[in-house]
């Protein structure tokens, strides 16, 4: 997009790793934003598919960095020029007004903005996920800001590169500790890559559990809120469980399964440290 006087530049950072499946759609939604001043930086973690070619063909600046998303985002921010930075995962599709709305909120005094990410429903599991995730909109218990003033990003220290599971929550907690003023965007991003089966979810949470010790050490004051099985957002939205009892029961089973997988992952990492 061409520069327009009076509009702060927004740097959109997209970390990728073999992301060819959804990257073109993600970048299409970024370039379709109504906001007139953006730069798009794709930070690729040594992909072996067509990710880099897709990014370059779309017009994005492409950088290479690893080993994980936290390091990639920090690297992208260091090589960006915007007064505001916005992390967008490569499997998100953005409503066209997101950047304009978030930029207006930062102009009105907010330091960081939460953009709600709602799952694309393509099966029963994703319907359960949407039932859950949509309860978190406008709540900071289980949400994290990704649209952030550059000065605030640096004040919070950027993403913690030792935390590879829950890095969003970790960064959100540090934003709150420095007293950042956090707002909420009405427009939403859609998560395109929702799992259609439970097994990939269990594998993911097993791996998250293995990394949980790093998150726990960095976030002792808030871990009981963000990682609690019984969540305040469920209480606030208890009518949804009455209106949709089957989804409510399925959500409970889903939570039991992923917490069990995470617990096994944490136990395995604990035993490895003992050996």
Strands (E), the chain: 10-16, 38-44, 61-64, 84-87, 92-94, 112-119, 147-149, 182-191
| Distance between CA atoms of residues 69 and 43, nearest Å | 9
Encode burial over 249-267: b for 16+ CB neighbours within 10 A, e otherwise: ebbeebbeebeebbeebbe
pLDDT tens series, the chain, 275 aa? 334 557 999 999 999 999 999 999 999 999 999 999 999 999 999 999 999 999 999 999 999 999 999 999 999 999 999 999 999 999 999 999 999 999 999 999 999 999 999 999 999 999 999 999 999 999 999 999 999 999 999 999 999 998 888 899 999 999 999 999 999 999 999 999 999 899 999 999 998 888 877 777 777 655 557 777 788 999 999 999 999 999 999 999 999 999 999 999 988 877 776 66
Rounded to a whole number of angstroms, the distance between the first and last alpha carbons of the chain is: 55
Name, in order, each residue with C-beta under 8 angstroms of 63's C-beta and a sequence gap of 6 or more. Answer: 41, 42, 43, 44, 75, 76, 79
Instruction: Domain ranges for the chain, please list them.
Output: 10-194
pLDDT of residue 166: 84
DSSP output for 113-130? EEEEEEEPP-SHHHHHHH
Report which of 117, 134, 127 is spatially closest to residue 191, judged by C-alpha positions: 117
* pLDDT tens digits, 175-191: 999 999 999 999 999 99
| Distance between CA atoms of residues 152 and 38, nearest Å | 19
| Distance between CA atoms of residues 67 and 267, nearest Å | 24
| 151: three-class secondary structure by DSSP | helix
| Distance between CA atoms of residues 270 and 214, nearest Å | 12
| Distance between CA atoms of residues 16 and 44, nearest Å | 5
Report which of 7, 60, 4 is spatially closest to residue 31, judged by C-alpha positions: 60
Report which of 273, 69, 261 is spatially closest to residue 166, judged by C-alpha positions: 69
* Highest CATH level, class, for 10-194: alpha beta
Q: Which is it for the CA torsion 239, 243, 245, 246, positive or negative?
A: negative
List Cα–Cα distances, 230 to 57, 116, 144, 254, 259, in angstroms: 45, 21, 19, 13, 12
């Amino acid at each position: 997009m061409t520069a327009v006087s009076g509009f702060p530049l927004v740097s959109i950072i997209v970390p990728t790793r073999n992301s060819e499946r959804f990257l073109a759609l993600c970048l299409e939604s970024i370039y379709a934003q109504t906001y007139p001043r953006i730069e798009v930086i794709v930070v690729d973690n040594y992909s072996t598919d067509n990710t880099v070619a897709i990014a370059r063909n779309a017009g994005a600046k492409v950088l290479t960095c690893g080993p994980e998303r936290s390091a990639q985002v920090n690297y992208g921010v260091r090589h960006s020029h915007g007064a505001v930075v916005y992390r967008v995962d490569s499997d998100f599709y953005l409503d066209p007004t997101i950047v304009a709305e978030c930029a207006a909120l930062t102009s009105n005094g907010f330091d960081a903005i939460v953009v709600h990410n709602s799952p694309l429903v393509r099966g029963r599991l994703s319907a359960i996920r949407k039932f859950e995730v949509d309860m978190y909109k406008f709540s900071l218990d289980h949400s994290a800001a990704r649209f952030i003033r550059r000065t605030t990003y640096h004040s919070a220290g950027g993403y913690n590169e030792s935390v590879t599971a829950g890095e969003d929550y970790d960064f959100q907690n540090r934003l709150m500790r420095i007293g950042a003023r956090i707002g909420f965007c009405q427009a939403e991003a859609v998560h395109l890559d929702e799992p259609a089966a439970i097994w990939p979810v269990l594998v993911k949470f097993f791996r998250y559990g293995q990394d949980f010790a790093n998150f726990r050490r960095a976030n002792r004051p808030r871990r009981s809120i963000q990682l609690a099985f019984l969540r305040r957002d469920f209480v606030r939205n208890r009518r949804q469980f009455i209106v949709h009892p089957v989804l409510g029961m399925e959500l409970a089973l889903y939570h039991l399964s992923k917490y069990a997988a995470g617990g096994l992952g944490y136990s395995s990492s604990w035993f490895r440290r003992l050996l």
